[in-house]
């Protein structure tokens, strides 16, 4: 009987120890998601205006030019990123990785025509500010939550043929 009592006491003591120590474990840390990076992409079309005809340019490029300023607002440098060449339809799309971290004010960035591979259509025009630079503004952007991306859509840019010299009579 003494062994039965000892076994029962030992079992009871084990249960008390397990219950008593259960409250001394530190609770798990709550889940905190890592901050996500928002990317920035730019899209648009590059076309050729040749006389009365307009057609897309395959292989043309634009560039994004952004001023970098110091804490006093003084211009320190300019960041320039070139796009990928346009496709068969004259469409360009590129993601500017890291640009939003380098530049404080994205609205100060401008997109400009850079190059055209078409010999008869190499002169950049200022239609939709292709030469002076189309600003990246909230009005021409939308946030795509599934890609965590701010997409800037620009009006089409145009190259034209060089101006022919006037004939001399």
Beta strands in 3-122 (DSSP E): 39-50, 53-56, 61-69, 75-82, 91-95, 110-115
3-state secondary structure of 50: strand
Instruction: State the pLDDT confidence band at 44, using cuts at 50, 70 and 90.
Output: very high
Asked if residues 46 and 157 have their Cβ atoms less than 8 Å apart, the reply is yes
Instruction: State the pLDDT confidence band at 164, using cuts at 50, 70 and 90.
Output: low
Asked if residues 66 and 99 have their Cβ atoms less than 8 Å apart, the reply is yes
Give the whole-angstrom CA distance, residue 39 versus residue 92: 17
Residue-by-residue DSSP string for 133-164? -EE--GGGEEEETTTTEEEEE-PPEEEEPPPP
Domains and CATH numbers, the chain: 39-160 (2.60.40)
Give the whole-angstrom CA distance, residue 163 versus residue 155: 24
Report pLDDT for 30. 81
Asked if residues 68 and 76 have their Cβ atoms less than 8 Å apart, the reply is yes
Instruction: State the pLDDT confidence band at 98, using cuts at 50, 70 and 90.
Output: confident
The string of pLDDT tens digits covering residues 142-151 is 999 888 889 9
What integer best gives the mean pLDDT of the chain? 84
The answer, yes or no, to whether residue 84 has pLDDT greater than 80, is: yes
Give the residue, 164 or 113, on which the prediction is more confident: 113
The answer, yes or no, to whether residue 24 has pLDDT greater than 70, is: no
Give the whole-angstrom CA distance, residue 110 versus residue 6: 85
The string of pLDDT tens digits covering residues 47-65 is 999 888 999 999 999 999 9
The answer, yes or no, to whether residue 122 has pLDDT greater than 70, is: yes
């Amino acid at each position: 009987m003494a062994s039965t009592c000892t076994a029962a006491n030992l079992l009871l003591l084990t249960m008390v120890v397990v219950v008593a120590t259960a409250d001394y474990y530190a609770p798990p840390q709550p889940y905190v998601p890592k901050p996500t990076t928002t990317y920035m992409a730019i899209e648009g079309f590059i076309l050729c205006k040749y006389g009365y005809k307009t057609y897309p340019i395959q292989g043309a490029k634009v560039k994004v030019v952004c001023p970098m300023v110091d804490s006093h607002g003084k211009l320190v440098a300019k960041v320039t990123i070139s796009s990928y060449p346009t496709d068969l339809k004259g469409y360009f799309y590129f993601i500017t990785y890291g640009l939003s971290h380098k530049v404080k004010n994205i609205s100060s960035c401008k997109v400009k025509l850079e190059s055209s591979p078409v010999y008869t259509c190499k002169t950049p025009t200022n239609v939709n500010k292709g030469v002076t630079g189309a600003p990246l503004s909230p009005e021409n952007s939308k946030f795509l939550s599934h890609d965590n991306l701010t997409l800037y859509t620009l009006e089409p840019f145009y190259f034209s043929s060089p101006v022919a010299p006037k004939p001399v009579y």
